[in-house]
Structure 1
Amino acid sequence: MATISNISVYPIKGLNAEGPDVVEVAEAGSLNYDRKYALFSEDNEYVNGRRNPEIQRVRSAFDFGEEIITLWTDMDETKARFHLGDEAELIEAWFSDFFDEQVRLEEANTNYTDNAGALSRKMITTAGPSIMSRATLEAVASWFPDLIDGPEEMRRRARPNIVVDGVEPFWEDRLYADEDHLVTFEIGDVSMQGLRPLPRCSVPAQNPDSGELLNPFVKEFTRRRRETFPPWGDPELLGVHDELDVGDYYLAVVTRIPTSEWGKRISVGDPVSIDGEAPLITAL
């Protein structure tokens, strides 16, 4: 039986995950607090693992009740505590000192756009959670036995919001269709929509503690991904949803949560069931 085994929420984009057992669906269809804030450089680019691998050296912990973010690094365990909403300038100063350049902190949800619904068939992005199976994490980790320390490290590299247990590797390839359709599914009593496979950047190839790049990762991953593509999926669908030339470098699935589901809760242990395909022009 497919069930939720892990929930990961990233209050500040690019930093460590928090793992609540229960999370509410927030407005915009995101998990509450997930990527609510992000760091930006002076040229208005995200400060994240793709552009700034050294961010992997930052350690963080978030208190949901108090909205307190605690920051330290692998080089200095001195902990600094800030209120995420009220002490943005102090957080910016901490990160500016770490990166040795000016960094600002802003709410990030407004930086997401959802073009699903016939506005665009390309580059659909959404605040909805990413999803994949634990068996997928185990399979990908097994491709790098001397370089990746099991599925937990692979989860930290891939950074999915929701991990599903009790299913086969690459089960999540059931959750998207062609460019004219999405796939509806249920987590507990929350209805969700699978939109497209997630094209990846350099972050899964980075050590999640040091930022060190695992050079063979992308080439070996794409080779194995093509060789082991599940019989229930169509590998040609990987590229039809976006204009990125990433070959078979896709891992996890992008989802959308309709407005009717906002305010509901997703919990570890919730069952997962797939309904089937629906037109991309589907009411939110």
Structure 2
Amino acid sequence: MPASRMSPNMATISNISVYPIKGLRPEEPDAVEVAESGSLRYDRKYALFSEDDEYVNGRRNPEIQRVRSSFDLEEGAVTLWTDADDDRARFVLDDETERVEAWFSDFFDEPVRLEKANTNYTDNAGALSRKMITTTGPSIVSKATLETVASWFPDLIDGPEEMRRRARPNIVVDGVEPFWEDRLYADEDHLVTFEIGDVSMQGLRPLPRCSVPAQNPDSGELLKTFVKEFTRKRKETFPPWGDPTLLGAHDELDAGDYYLAVVTRIPTSEWGKRISVGDSVAIEGEKSLITAL
């Protein structure tokens, strides 16, 4: 990796988020174990599906943003309520699947089922379609990136915390510049190795986005100007140390410049280790994608 793209030695983890049920609100532990799938334990372990086998999530069902949730990660339980009704219902996910399904079916006024994944239901899975490689690793973004994107919409987005809730990353890195995460990927034939604490990881590609970051994370209301304005500003402010052609190298989804956060992979040698808030982050360099895997 060229020296100009190496990371300053001051990056640390400021936030960890896991989303036990895809599409719902996260839990934010101080530390989390790497599961035996290369994902963060608990992350996107369950998902909701419609009668026609499509995800019930923010992309297809913006009203899911009105659902409020709290998870007991150790017990595998969720408490559900809505923005309009504070009457709370608690369910143990593996033992009370039918009751969970009934709650969501009532909320959406259509049949909804809950399924548990063998690995996880992360949006990152299948993101390397050109190489037919899937990854369940966490998504990563810098705190400064969230601050910058929020500043593009000063009258419409209430600061970096709301932007984080819109972007739904697993890991936020502090102490680095805006779009620092663009250092974590190379071309389609290479990956970037880096360490979080004592966990070795691999940065694979920028993450193309859907409509969810344009939605209000409390109401689901769509910010209609978001994608167009984000794309324009992303192109205008691409870091001078970066290589904008690398976005195009991964652009099989025709996302243009509509990328936010980076897709990662955690090798099998690291499964069972822990990632914690406060861990340092250090970039090592590029490796051939095929030989590194």
Q: Do 1:123 and 1:241's aligned partners in 2 also have CA atoms closer than 8 Å?
A: no
Query: Partners in 1 of 2:151 and 2:240 — Cα distance?
Result: 20
Map 1:176-215 to 2 at 5 A.
176-215=185-224
Map 1:145-156 to 2 at 5 A.
145-156=154-165
Query: Partners in 2 of 1:11 and 1:219 — Cα distance?
Result: 31
Query: Partners in 1 of 2:166 and 2:134 — Cα distance?
Result: 20
The letter of the residue matching 2:42 is: Y
Q: Do 2:12 and 2:175's aligned partners in 1 also have CA atoms closer than 8 Å?
A: yes
Q: Which residue of structure 2 lines up, in the alignment, with residue 50 of structure 1?
A: 59
Q: Which residue of structure 1 lines up, in the alignment, with residue 151 of structure 2?
A: 142
Q: Do 1:129 and 1:256's aligned partners in 2 also have CA atoms closer than 8 Å?
A: yes
1:126 corresponds to 2:135: yes
Instruction: Return the offset for 1:2.
Output: 0.4
Query: Partners in 2 of 1:110 and 1:19 — Cα distance?
Result: 18
Q: Do 2:14 and 2:172's aligned partners in 1 also have CA atoms closer than 8 Å?
A: yes
Q: Which residue of structure 2 lines up, in the alignment, with residue 167 of structure 1?
A: 176
Q: Which residue of structure 2 lines up, in the alignment, with residue 107 of structure 1?
A: 116
Instruction: Return the offset for 1:276.
Output: 0.5
Q: Which residue of structure 2 lines up, in the alignment, with residue 275 of structure 1?
A: 284
Map 1:238-257 to 2 at 5 A.
238-257=247-266
Query: Partners in 1 of 2:68 and 2:224 — Cα distance?
Result: 24
Query: Higher mean Cα deviation, 37-46 or 162-171?
Result: 37-46
Taking only the aligned residue pairs, the percentage that are identical comes to: 83
1:86 corresponds to 2:102: no
Q: Do 1:192 and 1:258's aligned partners in 2 also have CA atoms closer than 8 Å?
A: yes
Q: Do 1:60 and 1:69's aligned partners in 2 also have CA atoms closer than 8 Å?
A: yes
Structure 2 segments unaligned to the other structure (5+ residues): 1-9
In 2 relative to 1, CA 149–65 (structure 1 residues): closer, same or farther, beyond 3 Å? same
In 2 relative to 1, CA 167–34 (structure 1 residues): closer, same or farther, beyond 3 Å? same
Match of 1:211, SS state, is coil
CA displacement 1:135-158 (0-9 Å, x = unmatched) = 000000000000000000000000
Residue of structure 1 aligned with 2:28, choices 6, 19, 23: 19
Query: Partners in 1 of 2:214 and 2:139 — Cα distance?
Result: 18
How many residue pairs were aligned? Answer: 281
Instruction: Return the offset for 1:282.
Output: 3.6
Q: TM-score, normalised by structure 1?
A: 0.96
In 2 relative to 1, CA 282–23 (structure 1 residues): closer, same or farther, beyond 3 Å? farther
| Cα RMSD for the two superposed structures | 1.5
Structure 1 segments unaligned to the other structure (5+ residues): none
Query: Partners in 2 of 1:177 and 1:245 — Cα distance?
Result: 18
1:39 corresponds to 2:48: yes
Q: TM-score, normalised by structure 2?
A: 0.93
Q: Do 1:122 and 1:241's aligned partners in 2 also have CA atoms closer than 8 Å?
A: no
Query: Higher mean Cα deviation, 234-243 or 192-201?
Result: 234-243
Instruction: Return the offset for 1:283.
Output: 4.4
